[in-house]
Structure 1
Amino acid sequence: METTSINEVPINTTTGLPFKNIVNLTGACYEHVTVYTPGIWNSEYGESILEHAFYRFSVQLLLMFFLSHSMHFFLKYLHMPRITSEIMTGILLGPSGFEKWFPNEAKLVFPASPNQILAALSKIGYVLFAFLAGVKMDPSLVQQSGKKSVFMGILIFIFPFTMVHTITMSFRPEFRPSNQLSIGIYKGVGIVLGAITTSQFVGVSHLLNQLRITNSQLGHLALASTLVSELLRFAYSSLLGYMEAMLFIARRAGVQAIIFSMMLVAFIVVVLRGLVLWSIRNTPQDRPMKEIYITFVVGMILTLASVGDTVGMYYLFGPFLLGLVIPAGSPLATSLIAKVETPAAGIFAPIMVVFCSTSLDLEKFLRNYAKVLPFRISLIGYFLKLGFTFVVALGFELPVRDAAAYTLIVNVKGILEIGVLLSFGNLGSRQLDSTSAIFLIFILASIAPPIIRLLYDPSKQYIGYKRKCLQYAPDNAPLHILACAHRQDDAVAVIKFLEFSNPTRQSPLTVYGLGLEELISSSTPLLINHQLGQKKSTTKARPRSHNILDVFNYFESQFGNNKLATVHTFTAISYLKQMHEDICSLAFHKAASLIVLPFHNKWNGRGHMVCGNEDLRHLNLNVLNRAPCSVAILVDRRMAMGLSSMFVTSAVYRVTVLFVGGSDDREALALAMRMAGSPRVHLTVVQFTVDVQDETVVDRWEAMLDAEALRAVKLEMPTNSNIKLVEERVRDGSDTSGIVREMGDSVDLVVVGRRHDTGCQALSGLAQWMEVPELGPLGDVLASQDFTAAASVLVIQQQIMKASHSSILN
């Protein structure tokens, strides 16, 4: 019989090159597998740089991220989530695309052997993602959410697990070696059905953040109920795992797993939590955490995952519990999210999604759809869960559209479901039972966000049908003002304005002081009512809004004793892009007549403008667009005279109103006339008029309302010598701008309206040169660096009545 010499090396039919032995057959030393190549110009004839692990890995990452980001650039305009582009990338790089069209190149880029590098990175990303989910969870949300959210969370937890166990019991086979096919079907149905029908807190949080409705009433309800469901799910899954170990493996193994798991949980809750709180207490106020603390926590994340898997616990439970014991909002949580979230959510999680999606053979799935039992059962189970959730939402008196949106929100699918398939499915062997679930997740995750946008618009509840503005406020009724502040000097500026707002016993002032904090280290936005004794967290760290609240409390101590003013303090902790929901919601429920917002740009002690955060500017724009009452933007320029000027209290407060005409100017005049009731306020009303022949567009009704407002000023002048009316005749906007710029330091506050008639001759030409459109033409002139006076500016927009809020800002 002919034999082959051991020195004869077989040829690789794919590359045409001889195989390189990595197993010692000759007794000689091992031949190392090279990670890098000597270069494309120095490579041996016929050798490909893709045969080397480092270059192949680089090409894999390049393809993954280039394709996913390119597709998301277009799909985001259809409101598709990022996971849609990532799954599509995996499908294109898998057997449905790249492997089918370019088989030889695909074998080089994605070899048939298991890709241990991408698999390991996917598992690491999943562990970090679970840890961040625990860090961002705030268990105190359960206490604050009320009974409604708790009961809804319990119900949406009980139904899917009852359904999963009821369905899988009908497929439960006898566990014998000869019955492996039935066992595989039973496990596949349980894994896929369980992943599709459960509600995930992190997935809901990501969806709400993408849709920018986290701060809405429906968003708070969805977060609270899914948090309850998530906590119950982890507790139940752990208990079920121990029971199955005792019943189907060995009683001794189950008891050992319980004991070791309890020891690990005690170590996390007692020892690691104590170290976490100690590191937070030993970090000075407003100082970053030491790098050694961050390094220690990251090391413990990977250690707990390995140890938990060794003792029989689900390997994600340890990192998740460690994240849960770190107080949300603490300096450690903030530092960890800043360090870990970018690589976890920006690199590892997309790698996991694309890598798992490459196992899906779409053509094979469509050919064998009738045989893929887990897919069909899971699809039916998903719709049953939708129907049950919708009935529960209606039972708790949600409107039909809100109930439908809530149903889709709490049943959103995404990264965590794919992580379940990575952990328990057979993605490596490309079995349709597991890979078909990825296609189901792709469909459900893609269609939910656009439908939710059509069903739910939180701004509709703020559309004004009842007058809540200063012009029509009764003289003998309390005036409710919502004052917002990002920093302490914002609070000082608004208190300076409120000090001269003339509160009286007949018309006292009710101020709702709202400190605004950006949400960084949590997925749970908070609106804290400090009158109810609510606290931000269980840590002893001083809240960032504490200084703001001190300013509002000082104002109440000055006026509250005479029952002239009442102050209620709140803190809104939210994403800047969604903070307008907290502001508008609080103003709506407190029936405020005016919202006062700080201008995003500031002035330093040298009189130079310091550009602020653009997110703060967009916050003001969103409030102007959605507010249920009048809105004022306060431009504080007293810092231009130095920090000490903020604490100087003058005997006389000089206010000037620039009146051109329109609803906003009448609102500004109404506020100024209220302030003029104080003997310390000297009011000057500057009316800009043009010749009749020069006026191209005249709204007779508006002109009549303007004349009536000015007539009220003239009637008040004989009894109040502190009020003056000055008429300035102008030809166009350049004359108006010149008069405004000549105003000197004899003014403390200038009040102007924001919107004016586009055909107004007195402002013609100014709109083309506006740098800050939300201030209007006159406000933009007063807030520019060319305006040298140190007077503060208050730009007012009257409440929008029954209008389309999306078109107000033109």
Structure 2
Amino acid sequence: MVYMMLIMNVVGAMWMNVFLLLLCTKQAGVVVGPTLLSRIRRVEDFFIQASSAEYYMFFSFLCRMLFMFSIGLETDIPYLKRNIRVVSIVAGGGIILASICAVPLLWLLIKVFTVTKSRFPFYLLIFTVLANSASPVVIRMIAESKFDNADLGRLAIYSSLISEMSCVAFVATLTACSSTIRLVGAIIATLVTVLLIFLNNYLPFFFNKRNRHNRFLTNSELFLIIFILLAISLLVESAGYTAITCCFLAGLMFPREGKTCRTLLHKLTYAVNTFVLPVYFGYTGFQFNISKIFNKLTLILTVLIILLSAGTKIVATLAACYYLKIPRNESLILSFLLNMKGNYDLIIINSPPVPKMLWENDIHDLFLSVVVLKTLILAPVVAIWLNRGEFCAHYPTTLEILNPESELRMLACAYIPRHVSGYLSLISALSGCPNATLNPYVAHLVELPKKKKSKLMYHQLEDGDQYSDDEEYGGNDVVQITNALDSFISETKIPAHEAKIVSSFLTINQDVCNGAVDLRVSIIVLPFHKHQRVDGKMENSMEGIRTINQKVIRHAPCSVGIFLDRGQTGFQQPHGSLSVQNIATFFFGGPDDREALACSKRILMHSQVSLTVFRFIQANSSIQNSWISDASHKDEEVVMAISSIGTENEMDNVFVDTFCNRYVAQGKASLIEKYVSDGAETLVALRGILDNMYSLVIVGKGGRANSSLTIGMSDWEECPELGLVGDLLASSEMNFNGSLLVIQQHRHSEEDEALIPP
């Protein structure tokens, strides 16, 4: 038996990673169950004993409660609020059409099985099988494909959640209205759910204060939270209702700030993904018996219901997406994703919404076969589709093409706590627009020691310790960074996410780039390898940071910013500040400067920020023409240079004009033009500008390559990764005490262009 399960998992591993867990665990369950191995007498006696059904049902209940609570914890509430209309239309279309199509199917099955009693619960069963989308299955498939941060992936996740919760609420409401006893049970279930949410709103604050010097809660405190969750869930189940909604709402309403939520996510994510979901999906397949559908009538009904269920969901989803103007290819993959079954369907099949009632064996086996077979058939199709590049493309990768009022995803990398304070100020400024959502990730980069410490057995760990060396890396810096983020989230209510990357400095740049792709961020922010001392001089912070920055800049999958924080004299957090901070943006022209100006658009929306854009313009065009003539002795190259510069000039003019019409004309920002002829005049102009008190300067790394505006400035260049102007502003000789953000725009390759959605 063990060898057989291993063979099935090896075969499943040959499939794509998307449905690896889902398909293989269900296959393993099918193999062990009555379909194959349990036909052997000894295997059947081992797995199917007199009291095994009760054990399996209770363990299934525990798994279901844990992963529904985990789903609630991981729900992106800001995204759900912004897109509740879209999500509701997509989910509601399938529910409405399913409620209609369930009527003729009910009539047919009543005739076939001669159902004389409990026709209303029978309708609820048919409706659930047609309308429900199993959110755990959808979430797992999308997470395995690293598709959960894409717009389409999130739409599928929350549409399936709304669909499943709506089915649960619909069935529970109709069941509660069927009798007085059921109504009393519904009231009890509602009251205990409210009690659970109330307790969850107060316990975390108590635990956070108690563990203010630790990163995680102790195991006993964690057990208390889980115990309360399961105890109240059992009360809801004993009242005759499923506790799916109760646990999901408890996780959804759980306070996100502090160590309690972090500990729950850390513990539950690993347990759910590696143990709970595989066992639960395996149990789903274990219940399936393929011999039950060999009957000709049952086989015809199984195929009919699968086709009707899939067709109903596909037609309804396509119609909703057509109304919402979602592209056709995305609509189709969304409709297939929402066809996944396996959560609430199994509950209503095994436990009808009527006390002391069980479905007849033929009805039970028919619908169980429909649920299992439908998921096993559609999972490979969805997996192949999700692995196509057009759905997995990392987009958008620049700020220039991003709407200033759309969601911005950024990854800020920190090595020590000092880096985090500057990042939090920058994150605070970027979140000033109420209509534009900021989704920041702060990653703690930790160097992997050459010699790992000795392993301890699990029982040798102190209470609250983690069974992983990775959790110990970073020392006290981890706690300081965590406390800084907790305080920031508590004060500003900005949902900043914490991450840790433990790797060798030789390969940590690859982990940063891979993380940027997985999180689909538009910009990576790196710390400058120097920091300012008390006497104003610049000093190296850590060995290797500069090399890592250079590697990330060279291979980054999106735009990159290098941030130099000058502490108390630099940029401060705008949230809660009574004074307005002055910010300057230098625009010389070119893609990097357009990216810097695009970043400035986000910052100027904050009420405590005043932005001034300085545009440097060539004073004498003859100097530019002479530079072009000296650039090459070949006529073809001269023509190409002139054409390239002309195109860049046109793009710069359009971008600046759009900025002026939208922001300068409305008094949200100021634009000052500086006419200079060469690098010397540019340097004089920069010194004059910096005499004013600017707490932050934003500039593009490259400007326009070999521009006559910066001729001669490269003679004293020390840090090429900052560009000519950025390197000048970072030096101690400029006597500039403000913070500095240097941005490089991501250059799209031909492959990237082909994958960018229209």
| Cα distance in 1 for residues equivalent to 2:732 and 2:226 | 51
> Shift of the alpha carbon at 1:434?
1.9
| Cα distance in 1 for residues equivalent to 2:323 and 2:699 | 53
| Cα distance in 2 for residues equivalent to 1:615 and 1:86 | 42
> Shift of the alpha carbon at 1:388?
1.6
| Aligned equivalent of 1:309 | 237
| Aligned equivalent of 2:744 | 796
Whether 1:210 aligns to 2:141 is no
| Aligned equivalent of 2:524 | 597
Q: Summarize the alignment of residues 199-598 of structure 1 with structure 2, pairs less than 5 Å apart.
A: 199-244=133-178, 246=179, 251=180, 253-270=181-198, 273-275=201-203, 279=207, 284=212, 287-328=215-256, 331-362=259-290, 365-366=293-294, 368=296, 370-371=298-299, 373-374=301-302, 376-414=304-342, 417-418=345-346, 421=349, 431-454=365-388, 457=391, 459=393, 462=396, 486=412, 489=419, 492=422, 516-517=440-441, 544=485, 577=515, 583-584=521-522, 597-598=524-525
Equivalent of 1:127 in 65, 80, 93: 65
| Aligned equivalent of 2:99 | 161
Whether 1:88 aligns to 2:36 is no
Over the aligned positions, Cα root-mean-square deviation in angstroms equals 6.3
| Cα distance in 1 for residues equivalent to 2:551 and 2:26 | 35
C-alpha contact 1:309 1:315 (8 A) present in aligned 2: yes
| Cα distance in 2 for residues equivalent to 1:115 and 1:97 | 18
Q: Summarize the alignment of residues 80-119 of structure 1 with structure 2, pairs less than 5 Å apart.
A: 80-99=19-38, 103=40, 106-107=43-44, 110=47, 115=52, 118-119=56-57
C-alpha contact 1:301 1:319 (8 A) present in aligned 2: yes
> Shift of the alpha carbon at 1:647?
8.6
The aligned amino acid for 1:323 is G
Q: Deviations over 1:340-371 (max 9, x none)?
A: 33323321321222233134343653564654
| Cα distance in 1 for residues equivalent to 2:350 and 2:133 | 18
State the SS of the aligned residue for 2:310.
Answer: helix
Query: How many aligned positions are there?
Result: 583
The aligned amino acid for 2:60 is S
In structure 2, do the counterparts of structure 1 residues 491 and 330 end up closer, same or farther at CA, with 3 Å as the change threshold?
closer
State the SS of the aligned residue for 2:744.
Answer: strand
In structure 2, do the counterparts of structure 1 residues 753 and 275 end up closer, same or farther at CA, with 3 Å as the change threshold?
closer
In structure 2, do the counterparts of structure 1 residues 88 and 582 end up closer, same or farther at CA, with 3 Å as the change threshold?
closer
Equivalent of 1:716 in 664, 678, 681: 678
| Cα distance in 1 for residues equivalent to 2:30 and 2:273 | 20
| Cα distance in 1 for residues equivalent to 2:223 and 2:138 | 29
Task: Report the TM-score when normalising by structure 2.
Answer: 0.58
Whose helix fraction is larger, Structure 1's or Structure 2's? 2
Q: Deviations over 1:740-765 (max 9, x none)?
A: xxxxxxxx999976999xxxxxxxxx
> Shift of the alpha carbon at 1:394?
0.6
In structure 2, do the counterparts of structure 1 residues 333 and 545 end up closer, same or farther at CA, with 3 Å as the change threshold?
closer
| Cα distance in 2 for residues equivalent to 1:281 and 1:616 | 41
C-alpha contact 1:145 1:224 (8 A) present in aligned 2: no
The aligned amino acid for 1:70 is V
| Cα distance in 2 for residues equivalent to 1:210 and 1:289 | 28
C-alpha contact 2:236 2:243 (8 A) present in aligned 1: yes
C-alpha contact 2:485 2:496 (8 A) present in aligned 1: no
In structure 2, do the counterparts of structure 1 residues 468 and 701 end up closer, same or farther at CA, with 3 Å as the change threshold?
farther
The aligned amino acid for 1:390 is L
Report the more deviating stretch, 614-623 or 336-345.
614-623
Equivalent of 1:73 in 2, 8, 13: 13
Q: Deviations over 1:700-758 (max 9, x none)?
A: 8767789999xxx995247456599xxxxxxxxxxxxxxxxxxxxxxx999976999xx
> Shift of the alpha carbon at 1:383?
0.8
State the SS of the aligned residue for 1:326.
Answer: coil
> Shift of the alpha carbon at 1:392?
1.7
The aligned amino acid for 1:796 is Q
> Shift of the alpha carbon at 1:334?
2.7
> Shift of the alpha carbon at 1:378?
3.9
> Shift of the alpha carbon at 1:83?
0.5
| Cα distance in 2 for residues equivalent to 1:705 and 1:413 | 57
| Aligned equivalent of 1:740 | none
In structure 2, do the counterparts of structure 1 residues 601 and 210 end up closer, same or farther at CA, with 3 Å as the change threshold?
farther
| Aligned equivalent of 1:786 | none
C-alpha contact 2:419 2:527 (8 A) present in aligned 1: no
| Aligned equivalent of 1:682 | none
What 5-or-longer segments of structure 1 have no aligned partner? 1-58, 470-477, 500-511, 520-540, 554-568, 585-595, 625-630, 649-662, 679-691, 693-697, 725-747, 757-776, 783-788
C-alpha contact 2:22 2:137 (8 A) present in aligned 1: no
| Cα distance in 1 for residues equivalent to 2:42 and 2:530 | 60
> Shift of the alpha carbon at 1:386?
1.2
| Cα distance in 1 for residues equivalent to 2:68 and 2:341 | 15
C-alpha contact 2:341 2:371 (8 A) present in aligned 1: no
Identical aligned residues as a percent: 12
Q: Which has the larger radius of gyration?
A: 1
State the SS of the aligned residue for 1:516.
Answer: strand
C-alpha contact 1:405 1:456 (8 A) present in aligned 2: no
| Cα distance in 2 for residues equivalent to 1:543 and 1:294 | 23
| Aligned equivalent of 2:511 | none
> Shift of the alpha carbon at 1:804?
3.4
State the SS of the aligned residue for 1:75.
Answer: coil
In structure 2, do the counterparts of structure 1 residues 406 and 790 end up closer, same or farther at CA, with 3 Å as the change threshold?
farther
| Cα distance in 1 for residues equivalent to 2:389 and 2:102 | 29
In structure 2, do the counterparts of structure 1 residues 618 and 166 end up closer, same or farther at CA, with 3 Å as the change threshold?
farther
In structure 2, do the counterparts of structure 1 residues 395 and 113 end up closer, same or farther at CA, with 3 Å as the change threshold?
same
In structure 2, do the counterparts of structure 1 residues 448 and 196 end up closer, same or farther at CA, with 3 Å as the change threshold?
farther
In structure 2, do the counterparts of structure 1 residues 267 and 166 end up closer, same or farther at CA, with 3 Å as the change threshold?
farther
In structure 2, do the counterparts of structure 1 residues 182 and 513 end up closer, same or farther at CA, with 3 Å as the change threshold?
closer
Task: Report the TM-score when normalising by structure 1.
Answer: 0.55
State the SS of the aligned residue for 2:16.
Answer: helix
| Cα distance in 1 for residues equivalent to 2:597 and 2:97 | 57
State the SS of the aligned residue for 1:388.
Answer: helix
| Cα distance in 2 for residues equivalent to 1:797 and 1:222 | 31
| Cα distance in 2 for residues equivalent to 1:755 and 1:319 | 56
State the SS of the aligned residue for 1:236.
Answer: helix
| Cα distance in 2 for residues equivalent to 1:328 and 1:616 | 35
C-alpha contact 2:411 2:516 (8 A) present in aligned 1: no
